Chain A
Amino acid sequence: MSLDSQNDGALNTKLIEQVLSRYPEKTAKRRRKHLGVAAGGQVVAGEAQPLSECDVKSNIKSIPGVMTIRGCAYAGSKGVVWGPVKDMIHISHGPVGCGQYSWSQRRNYYVGTTSIDSFVTMQFTSDFQEKDIVFGGDKKLEKIIDEIEELFPLNKGITIQSECPIGLIGDDIEAVSRKKAKQHEKTIVPVRCEGFRGVSQSLGHHIANDAIRDWVFEKKDVELEVGPYDVNVIGDYNIGGDAWASRILLEEIGLRVVGNWSGDATLAEIERAPKAKLNLIHCYRSMNYICRHMEEKYGIAWMEYNFFGPSQIESSLRNIAKHFGPEIQEKTEYVIAKYRPLVEAVIDKYWPRLEGRTVMLYVGGLRPRHVISAYEDLGMEIVGTGYEFGHNDDYQRTGHYVTEGTLIYDDVTGYELEKFIEGIRPDLVGSGIKEKYPVQKMGIPFRQMHSWDYSGPYHGYDGFAIFARDMDMAINNPVWDLFDAPWKKNTTPSTAMAAE
């Protein structure tokens, strides 16, 4: 999208006033701070100029009863950060539900023999009963760890993912972890990610990061023959294989990915991370904490990058290469040139089918900005975006991606999102499973942007082709023209296009 293109800020401001008018006064006052229209960017000398300013309040408590879309700290730790570590067993510690609902739902792909040396798509739970609440669960937890060691002896370690009751009944999972780690000579990580902590998934990410720092780093002698181009990929959960479509590029430009956090990860990859030369961070929101720690403690630089869509991939690859110097830079130019015909062919194929189509996004902590350029590479326009659990620094970064007038909504409520979509009528909405079906019922094409709607990968050049295909098939499917019964229909010509 060209820099001078703008969204209809006046319409968006009106929409905000409309939704706020429906709330009780007290709630309207609080929600107002989370909704906004991107303003013109401020010019600051010597800095990359943002396109706009997205100045909304974020990372504060959701309001009761409004249908927030957010999850909890447990979801941030077990679901996001720890769950994908494949050779460890993650105990959902507490009642059965949390582990059940999050079982195999994030599509963290991995290679391994599930249930023997890998455990990601399994649900281990302490299945708390009333007596565990009354008498405490520490004894049970000890027994669970013993039973895991007997039945799943090839696990490389265990994490304890606390559910709400753990912190409320005063269990000492740290003491249990220390005792059992010593007895079994295993890494055992207690994580205090009870769902009532914090305001969203976000604190769970932070707590999970801290648990890596406190319970994994510097606990063992780590053997690794280091090389000059060793990097960790941080914050890629390998959803639909994203981390693999990224790794293949990083290897091609001559880097050695010694650790991938945490999609398809092993404990060994986490333990040795402090030996790398650079941390490449994709999901800044969920893993910046540990990168900052590694910078302070071990002097490892970190760099944000974005592998969605060719514009961002190219500039990210060049940025990364610059860090390592001419040898890597040369290879990088070769790799960019190698993939350019693929990129051009994909854009040639899909641009005419997608040009000018408008998109609204509402996702987690990275994608509300990171995927924007991928859409724009295909000629599409972003008209609204927002974060479930973003912080102020996420909204600041968003200004580099969205244009003036774009509708910005933080911790959007079910009601607001429905009204915004109704008011704007975008050509595509990208959000989560809870949003998918209401939006589709309204006759608006939708793609899940957490799980890639069971497709993917979307990272890297290989992923961009899939992304383009998927957006095209969502928008150009003939089903959207069938909604009106012909005897009630205002005949509008079909816009669907068969796949080429």
Chain B
Amino acid sequence: MPQSAEKILDHAPLFREAEYRQMLAEKRLNFECPHPVEIVTDQREFTKTWEYREKNLAREALVVNPAKACQPLGAVFAAAGFERTMSFVHGSQGCVAYYRSHLSRHFKEPCSAVSSSMTEDAAVFGGLKNMIDGLANTYKLYDPKMIAVSTTCMAEVIGDDLHSFIENAKTEGSVPQDFEVPFAHTPAFVGSHVDGYDVMVKGVLENFWMGKQRAEVPNVINIIPGFDGFCVGNNRELKRLLDLMGVSYTFIQDASDQYDTPSDGEFRMYDGGTKIEDVKAALNAQATLSLQHYNTRKTLEYCQQVGQATASFHYPIGVEATDELLMRVSAITGKEIPEAIRLERGRLVDAMADSQSWLHAKKYAIYGDPDFVHAMARFVMETGGEPTHCLATNGTNAWEAEMKRMLAASSFGKHAQVWAGKDLWAMRSLLFTEPVDLLIGNSYGKYLERDTGTPLIRLMFPIFDRHHHHRFPLMGYQGGLRVLTTILDKIFDKLDRETIEPGTDYSFDLTR
């Protein structure tokens, strides 16, 4: 009997005890009808080959372990970045349970959102009644300043029209006539969570800007961060930099406080977020900058339509990407980049120089959202590394072309391959046939790490199995330091593990 009150064993050690191992071996032998071991081994080895890779990459219909989620997740995240805003997702209710769980598991924070709970009768008659009742209940119970409506695929397939439904609900008195109910159609069968983010932010802007006269205030900018699992660290870091520069700015969509509320005895259903008055005033800004181009294509188009200048970036990480962001901000606002920031930049460069010998020529596989992959590939090249595989399941043809241009501009990118639309089962074949030193992605990558032995660095949403990383920035020079240190730790930990063998005392160096 392995268990005792003195030393209680949970699952990790318990099932590795002899009693359990034997029980499971007998279960397998007597009851599971398994394939013979040789057949399993042969198939496992076959999946490592170029032949398997070719079949794998030739898939036309099946998707296995994709690195993307669906649109409404992005919409719920987007809504969380506005003052006292409740997400209301029109359609089946299970979806909302999933978005809330998914976001809570990553941020380790509450995530509030409601559903219109449509069932079979609503599938037949449409969900108008659900919208009318649902908005009334949400308004009364949760005291929001704004309700942001998006859709599940069910409501999209039956063709519910949010605009007319919301008007109807207002006429019925569900919410006051002047209550803010921006909306966005977010079909799960189009695009991914980054597009859901885009259309929800655009929906909020349209709600406040449509038909309003714009009176440009020069030198003032808006910043749209995009769907970002590191928003807590990143948004705060960027605000710090902008404050140092003395820039007048508005973050449009800022979930950094919503997903980082303190523990002091009070549950805050809402915290922080862009103030509604600030969203209104943001129409007059001279320019809107997007930190993630592929998260904001429609929103930026709309900003241009209202007469704003726009610029977009790809999740600025590292030296040159941060340089570009700051210089553009400086050019638009006329504010100089202060000496303090130049010193910060120098410190990041200093750190990179100190560690360059450990990073030069390291090969990487990088996957995640399109802008993140762009950013990481670029930063890796700044450290002398070589991005070998760059994969975005939700990457478009335009992304692929842009990636190739960026990689081709550096000799460190000349062997890089770009994989738009591919999934992590494809990545597995790539890692077996063209191995790399390090894999950069999210928690789902741990299965690739187990199968291929490639060390995984978690730098992208969602991160379920490590805590609090998202509380630190990746963007800016400070964020660059964090990314650099994370990569280096992985390299040093691996080297220590490989050389820790007792009875040898070489390469297990005290100083590295």
B68 contacts A by Cβ under 8 Å: yes
* Chain A residues in 8 Å Cβ range of B91: 164, 196
Query: Do B34 and A117 have beta carbons less than 8 Å apart?
Result: yes
Whether B104 contacts A437 by the Cβ 8 Å rule is yes
Contact B70 A95 (CB under 8 A): yes
Q: Which residue of A lies closest to B63 (CB)?
A: A127
Interface residues on chain B, size class? 35 or more
| B143 nearest CB across to chain A (Å) | 10
Flag whether A396 is at the interface (Cβ < 8 A).
Answer: no
For the complex, give the distance between the alpha carbons of A432 and B110 in Å: 11
Asked, given contacts A128-B189, A196-B119, A269-B32, whether A100 binds B95 with beta carbons under 8 Å apart, the answer is: no
Is B358 an interface position by the 8 A CB rule?
no
Q: Does A228 contact B (CB under 8 A)?
A: no
A345 touches B62 (CB 8 A): no
The answer to the question of A380 belonging to the interface, with a C-beta cut-off of 8 Å to chain B, is no
Which of the residues B6, B10, B263, B428 comes within 8 Å of A483, measured between beta carbons?
Answer: B263
Given contacts A433-B105, A434-B101, A441-B266, contact A244 B189 (CB under 8 A): no
How far is the CB of B53 from the nearest CB of chain A, in Å? 11
Whole-angstrom CA separation of A457 from B10 in the bound complex: 7
User: A240–B12 Cα gap in the complex (Å)?
Assistant: 9
**A153: chain B residues within 8 A (beta carbon):** 43
Return B180 CB to nearest CB of chain A, in Å: 16
Report how far A144 CA is from B116 CA in the complex, Å. 33
Interface residue B406 (Cβ < 8 Å from any Cβ of A): no
Q: Name A101's closest neighbour in chain B (CB-CB).
A: B98
**Closest chain B CB from A183 CB (angstroms):** 16
CB of B141 within 8 A of CB of A66, answer yes
Q: Are A101 and B153 in contact (CB under 8 A)?
A: no
In the bound assembly, the distance between CA atoms of A307 and B398 in angstroms comes to 56
A434 with B69, Cβ < 8 A, contacts A196-B118, A483-B265 known: no
Is A346 within 8 A of B5, CB to CB? yes
- A61's partner among B117, B141, B158, B269 (CB-CB below 8 A) is B117
The segment out of B131-139, B306-314, B344-352, B409-417 that lies at the interface is B131-139
**Residue tally, chain A, CB below 8 Å to B:** 124
Binds B, one of A1-9, A118-126, A279-287, A366-374: A118-126
Roughly how many angstroms separate A27 CA and B105 CA in the complex, as a whole number? 31
Q: Chain B contacts of A121 at CB under 8 A?
A: 447
A111 contacts partner chain B, Cβ-Cβ < 8 Å: yes
In the complex, whether A477 has a CB less than 8 A from a CB of chain B is: no
| 0/1 interface trace, chain A 179-207, chain B, CB 8 Å (1 if under) | 00000000000000001111101000000
One digit per residue, 1 when the CB lies within 8 angstroms of any chain B CB and 0 when it does not, for chain A 14-57 equals: 00000000111011000000000000000000000000000000
Closest A residue by C-beta to B130: A64
The answer to whether A68 and B115 touch (CB under 8 A), given A154-B40, A196-B92, A437-B109, is yes
Question: Contacting A126 at CB < 8 Å: which of B11, B61, B98, B117?
Answer: B61
| Interface positions of B from 104 to 127, Cβ below 8 Å from A | 104-105, 108-120, 122-123
Q: Which of A298-306, A309-317, A323-331, A412-420 contacts B (4 or more CB under 8 A)?
A: A412-420
For A195, give its contact among B8, B100, B154 (CB under 8 Å): B154
* Contact of A101 with B116 in the complex, beta carbons under 8 Å: no
A370-404 interface with B by 8 A CB criterion: none
In Å, the complex CA distance between A78 and B97 comes to 15
Q: Which among B47, B102, B263 is the interface contact of A441 at CB below 8 angstroms?
A: B263
CB of A357 within 8 Å of the partner chain: no
Residues of chain B within 8 A of A439, CB atoms compared: 267
Distance in Å from the Cβ of B388 to the closest Cβ of chain A?
22
Does A98 reach chain B (CB closer than 8 Å)? yes
Interface-located stretch among B21-29, B297-305, B433-441, B473-481: B21-29
Write the B165-189 contact mask toward A (1 if CB under 8 angstroms, else 0): 0000000000000000000000111
Given known A-B contacts A23-B141, A64-B131, A437-B108, A115 and B451 have beta carbons under 8 A apart: yes
Q: Is A84 an interface residue (CB 8 A)?
A: no
Of B32, B266, B428, chain A has the most CB atoms within 10 Å of the CB of B32
Is there contact, CB below 8 Å, between B154 and A96?
A: no
**Chain B residues within 8 Å of A68, by CB:** 93, 115, 117
Q: Once the chains bind, are A72 and B157 in contact (CB under 8 Å)?
A: no
B5 nearest CB neighbor, chain A only: A345
Which of A66, A133, A150 has most B Cβ within 10 Å? A66
Q: Are B94 and A71 in contact (CB under 8 A)?
A: yes
Interface residues of A (CB under 8 A from B): 22-24, 26-27, 61-75, 87, 94-98, 100-103, 105, 109, 111-117, 121-130, 132-133, 140-141, 143-144, 147-148, 150-151, 153-154, 156, 163-165, 167-169, 195-199, 201, 240-241, 244-245, 247-248, 251, 257-260, 264, 266, 268-269, 338-339, 342, 345-346, 348-349, 413-415, 418, 432-434, 436-443, 455-457, 461-462, 465-466, 468-469, 479, 483-485
Please give me the 4 A-B residue pairs with the lowest Cβ-Cβ distance, nearest first: A72-B94, A64-B134, A97-B70, A65-B134
Chain B residues in contact with chain A, CB under 8 A?
Answer: 1-6, 8-11, 14-15, 19-20, 23-24, 27-28, 31-35, 39-40, 43-44, 47, 52, 55-56, 59-66, 68-70, 72-73, 88, 91-95, 97-102, 104-105, 108-120, 122-123, 130-131, 133-138, 140-142, 152-154, 157-158, 187-190, 192, 261-269, 425, 428, 444, 447, 451
Known A96-B63, A115-B425; further 4 A-B contacts with Cβ < 8 A: A65-B115, A68-B115, A101-B69, A465-B5
